[in-house]
Amino acid sequence: MKISGPQIFWIMFVMETGMTLLLTMQPAIQEAKQDAWISAIIAGLAAIIMTIVAVRLSMLYPKQTLVQFSQTILGKWFGKMIVLPYFIVWVSVTGMILRQSSDFVLIALFHKTPIWILCLILILLVVYLTHQGIEGIARCAEMFGPICVITIVTLYSLDMPNTEWHHLLPIYAHSGWLQILKGSLAPMGFLGESVMITMLYSFMNEMGKRPSWVYWGVTAASFFLVIDAFVVIMTFGPNLASRMWYPAYEVVRFISMMEFIQNIDALVVIVWILSIFLKLALYLFISSYGAAQWLNLKDWKKPIWVIATVAFVFSILPQNIVVSTIEYPKKIWTPFVVPITFVGIPLFLLVVGVVRKRISKRTGQSAN
Amino acid sequence: MKTQLLILFVTFFCLLTATGCWDRQELTDIAIESGIGVDLAEDGKYQVTLQLIDPSKLGAGQNGGGKKEKPFIVVTATGKTILDAIHHIQPKLSREAFSGQGRSIVIGEEIARHGLKQIMDEFTRNPDVRLRTDIFVVRGGKAIDVLKSDYPYERVPMYAALKIHQAISVHAGETLRDFYMAATDEGSSPITSSFVLRPMAPTEGETQQGKTAQFAGDAIFNKELKLVGYLNLEESSKRKWIVGGMGRLDVTASIPNHTGSVTFTMMHVKRKIRPIVQGNSVKMNITLIGIGSIRENNTDLDLTDAKNIAIVESALEQEVSKKTLAVVNRVQKEYGTDIFGFSEAIDRKYPYKWKFLMKNWKHTFSEVQVNVSSKMTIRQSGLTGPPMQIPESEIGK
């Protein structure tokens, strides 16, 4: 299984765009008011730094995945222990994304359908895609990516007549650095999911091994987030936007071009579903593949059904939308997942790995 | 073989479940709301009235002949919340009321004076309802009367109100959003449009019959979202000019030393607001800019002469400045509600001073010193220079 450079670009872009645009704008505006676009820039920069660490780490052992090189770096037992948090995160977030996406589809389109049906159909489709392996996922990303870009750009251009730039003013006066930083936490948590590159890097072909493809993917997603912040604030102002569940969705619902092009909110659902679908498949793939490597299974496809079932159960557990869409990102993702699995462990592995390589090089040289 | 079976299973599963049939709503099962009216009922409840379209009768009009049936019905019920009332309407309806097709919101005057805080939630929380919705107050009347009234041009009368509003204001669909934006702002007060129910061409003896809803200027709300007063047509166009977003606008001014008036149609309407804050005193410099052409000239002035153009321009400027200042001063004195976006202008220029001004804004707003200046530019004067209906000797030079 090999993936190319452009494919990894689209994977990163599509995976990050949908959820980040729809779900992170409200918490960012709530903290940073009309300066949420600065928060978005900071979040984008932070995500790129996280990605650089993750890519550098993967480049130490370019033929191994996170599950393998953690054992190479730290030894068998400690290496296996340190990736355990990743499995917990991957499986739980698969369930949570499943729920969040179904919540949104329920609100946007199907008011009467039971939520578990939406979750079940989506997870079955995702299982099907994951069975094709990373190549299938990558081809999907190549197809979805341009669709997402065109749709988002079109929708934002159609919203231009509704915008008023002076909603962005005054800059900085209503927030302050602390609030701008706080506002960047939510988008940072979503954009930082690019650290899953540690599991994908070993699949990349020679062209793809150039890390700039990955960085551009994250940069493109961050760029769209900044534009999203501008559009949302200029359409609704910070007060209204901070009280909406899905400000970006409301922007599209508000579009009315010459009383003719209107009621086009279903387009948002398309971008949303494509992005979610790809993200779920990626998480399911890396957790199944990782689990197979962790347990020394020969067939990596075997854990798919187990993990899918666990994720499905996890997705129907939350009682309401507040748990899935607000509390999980705020109380689990931002304070624990981001610092530990996105920053802490990769950084630790990188430092230890670099030091070990230097030592082995030196001893190697002296042996010669 | 195994995978083929699996694919077959998944395909059939999707066929059965993913058709969307769960949420299907046939067109013949829904009643599309064209308007929703809210009035105050006795014992603090709300009386909600729906105007519902009957699509089958909409098309029948083309066949012609005979008296056409009304393509809409009006139903009403009371409840503790708006949805509660709609649930009480439902037993009277054979179809489910559907609110996702751009209905207008009509507010009775009594409930507007009583306050809108309790009823404005439904219009944003309900996922079917769009924020792009028209909202207006019925001046001196009840919402139900407007919803019941007929309109000769439009088969669905609520569309008439919407179209009238659109013809007058470029941004009619943004009224509801702007209402919420002003309501959530610390300084601004919201407005809606107002409509009045009266005959199109009133004559003696003609009373109840043939009344239609007509645009009648803006309705002013205070920070408690209670209706406090109205602006008339001319005043509300001046307000619109100050807050921005005017499309085209007519101004008529009489010319000093010449009998008669001139009507000036502006195609480019702009404005600048410059606040000056010194301590606790606030000055507001408003500059109104209009570029357009003369459309009617009842005076004896020859408009091929640049000197006369200048005279007309200055007369127009005086008229605009005077009238606009009068509107602002009246609102300051009578209502004390900031419906001109002054607070936002101050916030943008003096964000830190605004935080102090904000606490006492209601009082400060009434004390703001307002200067209005205007700059009218006449680019064309229609197809004639001097008026054609008077002899050469009478043309004023």
Query: Which chain B residues are within 8 Å of A173, Cβ to Cβ?
Result: 351-352
Whether residue A266 lies inside any domain: the answer is yes
Give CA–CA dist B176/B124, Å, rounded. Answer: 10
Q: Which of A254, A269, A299 to mutate to test binding with chain B, by most B CBs within 10 Å of its CB? A: A254
Helix ranges, A24-159 (H)? 25-32, 36-60, 66-74, 76-82, 84-108, 115-131, 133-159
Summarised one tens digit per residue, pLDDT across range A212-260 is 889 999 999 999 999 999 999 999 988 888 888 889 888 888 888 777 7
Query: Which chain B residues are within 8 Å of A257, Cβ to Cβ?
Result: none
- What average pLDDT does this structure show over B63-67? 49
Whether residue A186 lies inside any domain: the answer is yes
Q: Which residues pair with B299 in a beta bridge?
A: none
Residue of A112, A121, A239 with shortest CB distance to B23 = A112
pLDDT of residue B65: 47
Query: In terms of pLDDT, which residue wins out, A24 or B168?
Result: A24
E strand residue ranges, chain B: 30-40, 46-53, 72-79, 96-98, 104-108, 135-138, 191-199, 211-221, 227-230, 249-254, 261-278, 281-297, 369-380
CB atoms within 10 A of CB A125: 17
Specify the pairing of strand B30-40 against strand B46-53. Answer: antiparallel
- Does the structure show a pLDDT above 90 at B352? no
Summarised one tens digit per residue, pLDDT across range B83-135 is 888 888 888 888 888 877 767 899 999 999 988 888 888 888 877 777 888 88
Report yes or no: B281 and B367 within 8 Å, Cβ to Cβ. Answer: yes
The verdict on a CB contact (< 8 Å) between A169 and B348 is yes
Three-point CA angle B240, B245, B246, nearest 5°: 65
Write the CB contacts of A71 (distance below 8 Å, at least 6 apart in sequence).
A79, A80
Give CA–CA dist B218/B110, Å, rounded. Answer: 16
Whether residue A357 lies inside any domain: the answer is no
Those of residues 89-118 in A touching chain B at CB distance below 8 A are 107-113, 117
Report yes or no: A69 and A55 within 8 Å, Cβ to Cβ. Answer: no
Report yes or no: B141 and A263 within 8 Å, Cβ to Cβ. Answer: no
pLDDT of residue A23: 87
Number of structural domains in chain A? 1
Closest chain B residue by Cα to residue A126: B10
Q: Which residues pair with A264 in a beta bridge?
A: none
The verdict on a CB contact (< 8 Å) between A117 and B22 is yes
pLDDT of residue B23: 66
| A21: CATH | 1.20.1740.10
Summarised one tens digit per residue, pLDDT across range B188-235 is 899 998 998 888 777 666 555 678 888 888 999 998 899 999 998 888
Query: Which chain B residues are within 8 Å of A170, Cβ to Cβ?
Result: 347-349, 351
Query: Cα distance from B12 to chain A (closest Cα, Å)?
Result: 12
pLDDT of residue A222: 94
Report yes or no: A277 and A270 within 8 Å, Cβ to Cβ. Answer: no
Residue A257: its H or E element:
strand A256-257
- Domain carrying residue A298: 5-340
Q: Which residues pair with A261 in a beta bridge?
A: A257
Write the CB contacts of A6 (distance below 8 Å, at least 6 apart in sequence).
A142, A213
Give the mean pLDDT of chain B. Answer: 84
Residue of A107, A112, A263 with shortest CB distance to B127 = A107
The verdict on a CB contact (< 8 Å) between B127 and A110 is no
- By three-state DSSP, how is residue B59 classified? helix
CB atoms within 10 A of CB A6: 17
pLDDT of residue A50: 92
The verdict on a CB contact (< 8 Å) between A162 and B174 is yes
pLDDT level of residue B18 (50, 70, 90 thresholds): low
CB contact A266 to B (< 8 Å): no
Whether residue A359 lies inside any domain: the answer is no
Give CA–CA dist B255/B262, Å, rounded. Answer: 7
Q: Which of B32, B347, B352, B355 to mutate to test binding with chain A, by most A CBs within 10 Å of its CB? A: B347
Could you tell me how many CB contacts below 8 A there are between chain A and chain B?
62
Phi then psi dihedrals of residue B325, to 5 deg? -60, -40
pLDDT of residue A103: 85
Residue A265: its H or E element:
none
Q: Which of B130, B170, B185, B350 to mutate to test binding with chain A, by most A CBs within 10 Å of its CB? A: B130
CB contact A193 to B (< 8 Å): no
pLDDT of residue B107: 92
Query: Cα distance from B385 to chain A (closest Cα, Å)?
Result: 37
Can you read off the two tokens belonging to residue A294? 């962790």
Tell me which DSSP letter residue B95 carries.
S
The verdict on a CB contact (< 8 Å) between A236 and B20 is no
Q: Which of A34, A107, A113 to mutate to test binding with chain B, by most B CBs within 10 Å of its CB? A: A113
The verdict on a CB contact (< 8 Å) between B177 and A254 is yes
E strand residue ranges, B235-363: 249-254, 261-278, 281-297
Three-point CA angle A88, A94, A99, nearest 5°: 125
Whether residue A351 lies inside any domain: the answer is no
pLDDT of residue A368: 46
Can you read off the two tokens belonging to residue B186? 């610390």
Place of tokens 């909603």: A167
Give CA–CA dist B181/B221, Å, rounded. Answer: 13
Whether residue A348 lies inside any domain: the answer is no
The verdict on a CB contact (< 8 Å) between A253 and B177 is no
Q: CA nearest B251: which of B241, B265, B239?
A: B265
Can you read off the two tokens belonging to residue A317? 């557990």
Whether residue A353 lies inside any domain: the answer is no
Can you read off the two tokens belonging to residue A268? 């948002």
Summarised one tens digit per residue, pLDDT across range B288-317 is 999 988 888 888 888 888 888 888 899 999
pTM of the model: 0.85
> Per residue of chain A (368 residues), what is the pLDDT tens digit?
788 888 999 999 999 998 888 888 899 999 898 899 999 999 999 999 999 999 989 888 888 888 888 888 888 888 889 899 999 999 988 988 888 888 888 888 777 778 888 888 889 889 999 988 899 999 999 999 999 999 999 999 998 888 888 888 888 888 888 999 999 998 998 998 998 988 888 888 876 677 888 999 999 999 999 999 999 999 998 888 888 888 988 888 888 877 777 778 888 888 888 999 999 999 999 999 999 999 988 888 888 999 999 999 988 887 787 877 788 888 888 888 888 888 889 999 999 988 888 888 887 665 44
Query: Cα distance from B290 to chain A (closest Cα, Å)?
Result: 21
Query: Cα distance from A356 to chain B (closest Cα, Å)?
Result: 46
Total H helices, total E strands in chain A = 16, 2
Query: Which chain A residues are within 8 Å of B23, Cβ to Cβ?
Result: 109-113
Query: Which chain B residues are within 8 Å of A169, Cβ to Cβ?
Result: 347-348
- Does the structure show a pLDDT above 70 at B260? yes
pLDDT of residue B22: 63
Write the CB contacts of B131 (distance below 8 Å, at least 6 apart in sequence).
A250, A253, A254, B123, B124, B176, B177, B180
Whether residue A304 lies inside any domain: the answer is yes
The verdict on a CB contact (< 8 Å) between B23 and A174 is no
Give CA–CA dist B394/B364, Å, rounded. Answer: 53
